[in-house]
Structures are given as C-alpha cells and as structure tokens.
C-alpha cells in the first residue's frame, strides 16, 4: 500500500447560515435545513462527529465540509482534484474518513491541520469506493459500486482486502455491520442482499423473491434483522438472517416512492427517504406494529434527492443532505413529542 501524507489547502471561507425550522402540517416533527454556501456542489452524506459538528462531502465540489449546527457556521476543506468524494464517516478519535469515488482511494483527514492520509485501492478494477462503515474492531468496510466489490481497510496496517461479486453488474451499494461484526450490503444492480464472513472473506448472498427488486440502502434492526429499501418497486424488505426469509411492505407513496436514503433510530424504527414524491418525504416504519407512521415532507428545500441519512444517538437527530443544496436534520424527539407515535 502507498500511504503518504500531504497538506491540503484549507479554504478560508467560513459562512454562517440561519437554520429554517419546518413544522410538518398539523402537529408533527420539526425539520431544520441549512443552505450550504457553495452552490451546485451536491452536499451529501452528513455524519455527526463526537464534538457535535456535522461533516459532509461536496461530491461535485470536491471538498469535505463541516457544519456547526450551534452557530450555523460552515468550513470547507479542499480535496485532491478528481477525488469526487462520495461518502464520509467520523471515527471516535475525530478523524474524518472519506471515499474517493473517482480517484480510487480512501482518505483520512485530520481536522486539526487539514492533512490527508491516502489509501489507494490495490486493484484498478476497484476504482470507485462508495459507502463506508466501521466495524467493532475499527476496520473500515466499504462498497465499490461500478467495481462490483466490497472491501475492508485495516487502518492499523493499511491493508485492503477486496471481495468481488460473482455476477457482473451487481453494484454493491449501501452497507452496515451487524453485532457479530459481519458486514451486510445490498446489490443495487440486482435483487440480492449479501454478507461477508470477516474471518474467511466468504461471501453469502440472499435473493429477494421479486426479480425486479433493486435494493439501494440497508438498515440493521434492533433484533438483528436487515431492512432494505426497494428503489424500483417502492417497498421495504425485511430479511431474517437466521432463516433467510424475506417479508415486504409497500411504501406509503407506493410503487413510485423511490426509497433511497435510510436510517434506523434508537427505538428500532426504520426511516426511509421517499425521493419519488416532490417534495421528498421521510417515512418511519415501526417493525413491532408492522406499520408506517405519517410522512414528513421536506417542504422548504424540497430535497430533490436525499441520498443518504445517518442517526446520531447522542442528539437523537437524523441527518441528511439534499440535492437542493442543503444539510438537514429531523429531531426524533420533537417528532415523538408532536404525538406522531402511538
């Protein structure tokens, strides 16, 4: 592995934006959005850091951004030309990891000085690292969509393992890690949910009963089950990993709901962004009742497309980025307080 460090240019642009509070129609949750001060850069995939700030990538703008929701201030860290970052996550030590979707590497940014450590892919076929997630050992699992693989990066050594899908065009996409430290992921190019044994790197695939299903994101349930949103069919699928059995429910907006971003909250509810409706809507599914709760419209910006969401258990906020150029959050506590839940 080539592991080297270089100082990146740190933009002096610091902007403060006043959040807009959006109440859902009638009694309901509160959504806030902040307009990112760098237009047309596709801000996406926000992740709350231990210090309360929220990091995100500017996929088209080629930067890492950070928002302080307490003040509304933004800061921008420039990345190498051609990085086209796709996703970022923050480690417990505050280091920011990101996927270089166009320059075939995973990067680690030190927010203290702007330095980047680069971990290039060991195989040119794996040219587009996609979505990142940590396991319990601090190793980093990631999908490689066009490269048709799932990888593991061991930060301690810089070693990268790649597991390729047996069928071409499988397009590994969303990914989570379960309590047994196994990564689970969806294959957006087909109707499969996969998992990898971290000890042997053996791949197991579970086939959804409908051949037309195209799962895009995935959430780990509190009971260990897996939930996947069917982007093409407008459904939520549940996989029991012990039996391999699938259960499905139609999304509130139906076949054209185009569920994309997903997150699970601390009460076991599964949230999806329905990106077919405009404005986009956030919908929660209660697995215990097997029922969807009333949707929340992203009525101020419209969302356009919400591609990824993360839940911060400390603040009980669901964070999301929009193609409308905003970083937003939904307060689960406010949503509960509005009487949405039974």
**Distance between CA atoms of residues 28 and 192, nearest Å:** 36
Length of the chain: 342
CB 281 within 8 A of CB 298: yes
For 106, 135, 206, 232, 314, the CA distances from 227, given in Å and listed in that order, are: 27, 18, 13, 15, 23
Mean pLDDT of all residues in the chain?
92
Q: What percentage of residues in the chain have a pLDDT greater than 90?
A: 89
Mean pLDDT (whole number) for 75-100: 97
**What are the DSSP calls for 13-65, one per residue?**
EEEE---EEEEPSSS--EEEEEE-SSTTS-EEEEEE-TTS-EEEEETTTTEEE
- CB environment 183-213: b (16+ within 10 A), e (fewer): bbbbbbbbbbbbbbebeeeeeeebebeeeeb
The pTM assigned to this predicted structure is 0.92
Tell me: the pLDDT tens digits for 141-161? 999 999 999 999 999 999 999
Instruction: Give the per-residue pLDDT at 288.
Output: 96
- Closest of 256, 197, 265, 259 to residue 228, by C-alpha: 259
pLDDT exceeds 90 at position 4: no
Q: What is the pLDDT confidence band of residue 342, given thresholds at 50, 70 and 90?
A: low
For 4, 119, 132, 155, the CA distances from 158, given in Å and listed in that order, are: 11, 7, 15, 5
Tell me: the pLDDT tens digits for 241-263? 999 999 999 999 999 999 999 99
Give me the domains of the chain, ranges plus CATH numbers. Answer: 5-337 (2.130.10.10)
Per the structure block, which two tokens stand in for 155? Answer: 């930060």
How far out from the chain centre does Cα 329 lie?
14
- CB environment 29-56: b (16+ within 10 A), e (fewer): bbbbbbbbbbeebbbbbbbbbeeebbbb
Query: Which residues on neighbouring strands pair with residue 218, listed in sequence order?
Result: 228
**Distance between CA atoms of residues 76 and 82, nearest Å:** 16
**Distance between CA atoms of residues 283 and 292, nearest Å:** 7
Per the structure block, which two tokens stand in for 265? Answer: 């909250």
> What number of CA atoms fall less than 13 Å from residue 301's CA on the CB side?
24
Mean pLDDT (whole number) for 103-131: 97
CB 205 within 8 A of CB 197: no
Q: What percentage of residues in the chain have a pLDDT greater than 70?
A: 91
């Amino acid at each position: 592995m080539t592991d080297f460090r270089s100082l990146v240019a740190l933009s002096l642009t610091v902007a403060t934006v006043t959040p807009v509070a959006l109440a859902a129609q009638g009694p309901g949750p509160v959504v806030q959005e902040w307009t990112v001060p760098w237009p047309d850069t596709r801000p996406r995939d926000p992740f709350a850091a231990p210090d309360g700030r929220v990091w995100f990538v500017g996929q088209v703008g080629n930067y890492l951004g950070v928002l302080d929701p307490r003040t509304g201030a933004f800061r921008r860290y420039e990345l190498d030309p051609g990085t086209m970052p796709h996703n970022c996550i923050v480690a417990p030590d505050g280091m920011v990891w990101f996927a270089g979707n166009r320059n075939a590497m995973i990067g680690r940014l030190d927010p203290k000085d702007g330095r980047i450590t680069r971990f290039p892919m060991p195989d040119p076929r794996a040219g587009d690292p996609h979505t990142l997630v940590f396991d319990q050992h601090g190793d980093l699992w990631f999908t490689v969509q066009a490269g048709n693989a799932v990888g593991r990066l061991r930060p301690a050594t810089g070693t990268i393992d790649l597991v390729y899908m047996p069928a071409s065009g499988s397009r590994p996409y969303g990914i989570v890690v379960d309590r047994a430290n196994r990564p689970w992921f969806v294959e957006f190019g087909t109707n499969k949910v996969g998992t990898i044994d971290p000890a042997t790197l053996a791949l197991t695939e579970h086939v959804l009963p409908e051949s037309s299903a195209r799962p895009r994101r995935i959430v780990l349930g509190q009971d260990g089950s897996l939930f996947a949103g069917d982007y093409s069919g407008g459904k939520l699928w549940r996989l029991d990993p012990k039996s391999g059995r699938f259960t499905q429910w139609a999304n509130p907006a139906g076949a054209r709901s185009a569920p994309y971003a997903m997150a699970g909250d601390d009460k076991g509810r599964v949230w999806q962004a329905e990106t077919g409706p405009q404005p986009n809507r956030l919908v929660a599914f209660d697995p215990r009742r097997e029922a969807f709760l009333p949707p929340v419209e992203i009525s101020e910006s419209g969302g356009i497309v919400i591609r990824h969401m993360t839940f911060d258990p400390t603040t009980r906020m669901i964070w999301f980025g929009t193609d409308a150029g905003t970083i937003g959050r939904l307060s689960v506590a406010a949503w509960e307080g509005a009487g949405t839940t039974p």
